[in-house]
Structure 1
Amino acid sequence: MDDGKPFIGRRGGLARGVVANVLRGVAQVVLAYALNLPLFILAVLSIAFVPLGVGVVLAPAVLLAIRAVANLQRDLAENWHGVRIPVPYRPEPAGTSGPVARFRWVLGDPATWRDLLWSLLNVPVALVLGVLAAGLTVYGLEGMFAAWWIALLTDYGWGPFWLITDYGAAGIAGTIVLAAAMTAASVPLGGAFLKAHALFCRSLLSPTQGALTERVQRLTETRAETVDASAAELRRIERDLHDGAQARLVSLSMSIGLAEEMMKHDPETAQQLLAEARAASGTALTELRDLVRGIHPPVLAERGLDGAVRALALSLPLPVDARIDVPGRLDAPVESAGYFAVAEMLANTVKHSGARRAWIQIEHSGGRLLMIIGDDGTGGADPARGSGMRGIERRLAAFDGTMAVTSPPGGPTIVTMELPCALSSPRTSPSSGTD
């Protein structure tokens, strides 16, 4: 159906396809030769230097750089060609701040070695497919706009297909028509070559069946832990209600009933009982509010993660520098998980670290929520020795999140937490900046 727009101006039209094929083909070649090839050479050298010790530090750094390039290729394949390449990497476990632990984590991931193989094979594949995608278009444009007048000026039949000088004016016209046809044909052909490259990348960069099985098993375990934690939380709420607010409300009811009986015979005692009942009702209301805050703080529902964390930071007995850049609201379960993870870490800081200052950095980018909590305390925090940090790991794992702790003796302690998530709505609270 004709929408009244010229063909070249339409989405996916000839001009757009020509430019896209040239730029994308060149980009794939540059990516392969400027990044893949040098990083592959560096990776091989760093692994060879492992027996000397220096490779233990260099190899993870280079392989993580290759991982970053692979993630860039995943984004390009999806944005340019609609080819989605899932991320197969194992999450970084807690306690990988040391070079040996980091070396084991990176090199122990099977996806690391597929990335390395892709870095090598992508060099010739990207060269061939990228040059074909861009070269067909460039050669067709050259035939349309350059070959014929260069041939006229130099008396040379420019190019293997443009035999201009053999046929005079007819040769020029034929060359332009043939070149225009080649340029038009290069749009679908070039797109097919580039999509073939994206499919090649997917064959090497996607999770294997074993990785998918491992991931399903991990998600099953984390979901089971989350169910257990939720059941324990419900039992705690029931216990708090039974031992706290419920007991006070029962006592309150008894005091009011007794005051009713005493009103006729001993008004003074009845008045005292009513005063006690009023005090008990205030205490019960306070306990209920505290219980509700422990389930889902009202400030979190009203102002989102940004406002809730800032309010939490202001309530602590030590100065907390909060730098938060979350330009929208998160889904409620993710928002709650992030808030309570930050709250638990700050509680640990106040109770155990002996810190004089703490800081919080929260930002959302690339579909991930990054939360960094640090302090200048005595250090020595170990997730394996504390149920609080283990609880945070379970809470984050339910959303496929990760936590890494760096806490050498003497400090500082830095906890990095990541949650994959998307923004669900624009931010309604105008808070920003530094507290």
Structure 2
Amino acid sequence: MTASKPAPTAAYRPSVPAAGPGTAGRDDRLPPARLAYDPQTWKEIAHLLANLPMSVIGFTYVMTVLFTGATLTLTVVGLPLLALGLLGARLIGRFERGRARLLLGVRIEEPSPLPLRRAGNVFQGMWLALKDPVAWRTVLYDFIRLPWGILTFTIALTSLFVLWPVLPFLARGLTNADRAMVRALLSPSDELERRIAELESDRGVVVDTAAADLRRIERDLHDGAQARLVNLAMGLGLAKEKLLEDPDAASAMVEEAHGEVKLALQELRDLARGIHPAVLTDRGLDAALSAVASRCTVPVTVTADLPSRPAQAIEGIAYFTVSELLQNISKHSGARSASVDVWRVENRLLIQVWDDGRGGARLDGGSGMRGLAERLNAVDGLFVVESPAGGPTTVTAELPWRDRAEQPGRPQRAGERTR
């Protein structure tokens, strides 16, 4: 099979910069206030009348749940209760944004959800909730809204019976203040705040992954090469004792020890390859992927179009991502052929692994795919799986391209190879 570089699949969408909060509401300007009671005027009046019950609910929530949580912070339940209260404040903020969209025509993007699934444990998730700027701004919004809700409700209700001719002007002026408060306090966090929260969560994932890798290396050394070297030392000790008494038996023991040395060296080479293969360091991603494809039980076409080499960490993540995907193809796909395509688009490294197997792969189907997605998320990457039942399966990964200085004496290879 010879595969050309495929275009991104329908399930894959290249990442685009998120719009900042300063863009919210710029296209939602309403016409000037009018004396006529048009539908928009009635929506504004309804919003003002609803301010009182909503402000009472929000203020009561803040003063009970959050105040109680803050008071009990010296106990075991204090911080968890405060974290849950902040998560609830997010829901109130969502409702208020929806009310503003429906009645005031203010279109504000919803803030990014907290990355709780990336948190390594309950305590990290709780810490994310406690530091959530979106929730704390909603708390401030609910706290200051009670006097404003009473004022606007009173003016709107009184004007319905007393100041009927000028009520549209009053409604427009008061709801403009509401619009300003919603934009200021309920808009999404700016990009810096959101990225800080994501990176803090990703740091926990990276630390947990590194700890798991260290435990795996320790286990492999203990159960593999270390045990074999212990047996080798014991065998050589017995051979030394029999060297004069029974030279033939000692020779056989030395021969057996020689075989053990070869096996121990092979295990150490395999372990080193699992940490960081030498071919990746010496010859780059193209050659390393060709080497791992040659060990796959399914014929794999490797196409690499890389004008230069990315940073070593990016190369390592790309290599191990493809390596694990090819292992999954060998073990689970039932495929007859597969392909790996790697190329650069502007400042991103794109990887696409395809096979014609039975399909059905999912991110939530096991820890392997989920672990790959978390590893890529930790470096601001993307991981998309498109695998309908019956196949084929296409996995697209995107990583940031980070240049590094070219290293002399280490040639790079590009082109297409079939394994």
Q: Distance in 2 between matches of 1:292 and 1:318?
A: 24
**Residue in structure 2 matched with residue 213 of structure 1 by the alignment:** 193
Shift of 1:208: 6.6
Q: Distance in 2 between matches of 1:233 and 1:297?
A: 15
**Residue in structure 2 matched with residue 432 of structure 1 by the alignment:** 415
State how 1:34-183 maps to structure 2 within 5 Å. Answer: none
Q: Which amino acid aligns with 1:299?
A: V
**Residue in structure 2 matched with residue 414 of structure 1 by the alignment:** 394
Q: Distance in 2 between matches of 1:112 and 1:320?
A: 47
Shift of 1:342: 0.7
Instruction: Give the 3 Å change call, closer, same or farther, for CA 107–301 of structure 1 in structure 2.
Output: closer
Q: Which amino acid aligns with 2:262?
A: G
Instruction: Give the 3 Å change call, closer, same or farther, for CA 114–276 of structure 1 in structure 2.
Output: farther
**Residue in structure 2 matched with residue 229 of structure 1 by the alignment:** 209
Q: Distance in 1 between matches of 2:414 and 2:300?
A: 16
**Residue in structure 1 matched with residue 328 of structure 2 by the alignment:** 348
**Residue in structure 2 matched with residue 242 of structure 1 by the alignment:** 222
TM-score (ref. length: structure 1): 0.53
Higher helix fraction (1 or 2): 1
Instruction: Give the 3 Å change call, closer, same or farther, for CA 267–315 of structure 1 in structure 2.
Output: same
**Residue in structure 2 matched with residue 379 of structure 1 by the alignment:** 359
Q: Distance in 2 between matches of 1:274 and 1:267?
A: 10
Give the % identical residues. Answer: 45
Say if 1:225 and 1:394, in contact at 8 Å, map to a contact too. yes
**Residue in structure 2 matched with residue 305 of structure 1 by the alignment:** 285
Q: Distance in 1 between matches of 2:217 and 2:210?
A: 10
**Residue in structure 2 matched with residue 265 of structure 1 by the alignment:** 245
Q: Which amino acid aligns with 1:324?
A: A
Q: Deviations over 1:25-72 (max 9, x none)?
A: xxxxxxxxxxxxxxxxxxxxxxxxxxxxxxxxxxxxxxxxxxxxxxxx
2:231 aligns with one of 235, 251, 256: 251
Shift of 1:113: 6.5
Moved more, 352-361 or 207-216: 207-216
Q: Deviations over 1:123-173 (max 9, x none)?
A: xxxxxxxxxxxxxxxxxxxxxxxxxxxxxxxxxxxxxxxxxxxxxxxxxxx
Say if 2:321 and 2:372, in contact at 8 Å, map to a contact too. yes
**In the alignment, structure 1 residue 399 sits paired with structure 2 residue 379:** yes
Q: Distance in 1 between matches of 2:11 and 2:277?
A: 41
Q: Distance in 1 between matches of 2:193 and 2:214?
A: 32
Instruction: Give the 3 Å change call, closer, same or farther, for CA 334–101 of structure 1 in structure 2.
Output: closer
Q: Distance in 2 between matches of 1:399 and 1:393?
A: 10
Larger Rg over CA atoms: 1
Shift of 1:425: 3.9
Instruction: Give the 3 Å change call, closer, same or farther, for CA 101–290 of structure 1 in structure 2.
Output: closer
**In the alignment, structure 1 residue 332 sits paired with structure 2 residue 315:** no
How many correspondences in the alignment? 248
What is the root-mean-square deviation in Å for CA atoms of aligned residues? 3.1
Q: Provide the secondary structure at the position in 2 that maps to 1:433.
A: strand
Q: Which amino acid aligns with 2:211?
A: A
Q: Which amino acid aligns with 2:217?
A: I
**Residue in structure 2 matched with residue 18 of structure 1 by the alignment:** none
Q: Distance in 2 between matches of 1:381 and 1:111?
A: 40
**Residue in structure 1 matched with residue 299 of structure 2 by the alignment:** 319
Say if 1:369 and 1:420, in contact at 8 Å, map to a contact too. yes
Segments of 5+ residues of structure 2 without an aligned counterpart are: 1-7, 29-186
Instruction: Give the 3 Å change call, closer, same or farther, for CA 98–301 of structure 1 in structure 2.
Output: closer
**In the alignment, structure 1 residue 277 sits paired with structure 2 residue 260:** no
**Residue in structure 2 matched with residue 291 of structure 1 by the alignment:** 271
Instruction: Give the 3 Å change call, closer, same or farther, for CA 110–98 of structure 1 in structure 2.
Output: farther
Q: Deviations over 1:322-357 (max 9, x none)?
A: 111111112111100010001111111111111111
Q: Distance in 1 between matches of 2:368 and 2:240?
A: 48
Q: Distance in 2 between matches of 1:402 and 1:295?
A: 23
Say if 1:330 and 1:425, in contact at 8 Å, map to a contact too. no
**Residue in structure 2 matched with residue 162 of structure 1 by the alignment:** none
Q: Distance in 1 between matches of 2:222 and 2:416?
A: 43
Q: Distance in 1 between matches of 2:242 and 2:254?
A: 11
Q: Provide the secondary structure at the position in 2 that maps to 1:381.
A: coil
Say if 1:106 and 1:112, in contact at 8 Å, map to a contact too. no
Q: Provide the secondary structure at the position in 1 that maps to 2:328.
A: helix
Say if 2:290 and 2:302, in contact at 8 Å, map to a contact too. yes
Q: Distance in 1 between matches of 2:331 and 2:302?
A: 19
Q: Provide the secondary structure at the position in 2 that maps to 1:271.
A: helix
Say if 1:319 and 1:358, in contact at 8 Å, map to a contact too. yes
Shift of 1:317: 1.9
**Residue in structure 1 matched with residue 173 of structure 2 by the alignment:** none
Q: Which amino acid aligns with 2:403?
A: L
TM-score (ref. length: structure 2): 0.54
Shift of 1:211: 3.4
Q: Provide the secondary structure at the position in 2 that maps to 1:383.
A: coil
Q: Deviations over 1:283-308 (max 9, x none)?
A: 11111010000000111111111110
Shift of 1:256: 0.7
Q: Which amino acid aligns with 1:428?
A: P
Q: Provide the secondary structure at the position in 2 that maps to 1:423.
A: coil
Segments of 5+ residues of structure 1 without an aligned counterpart are: 1-96, 118-206
Q: Distance in 2 between matches of 1:260 and 1:325?
A: 57
Say if 1:363 and 1:370, in contact at 8 Å, map to a contact too. yes
Q: Distance in 2 between matches of 1:360 and 1:261?
A: 56
Q: Distance in 2 between matches of 1:399 and 1:114?
A: 32
Instruction: Give the 3 Å change call, closer, same or farther, for CA 107–418 of structure 1 in structure 2.
Output: closer
Q: Which amino acid aligns with 1:300?
A: L
Hey, which bits of structure 1, 4+ residues long, moved more than 3 A? 97-102, 105-117, 207-211
Q: Distance in 1 between matches of 2:314 and 2:11?
A: 32
Q: Distance in 1 between matches of 2:26 and 2:297?
A: 47
1:363 aligns with one of 318, 343, 351: 343
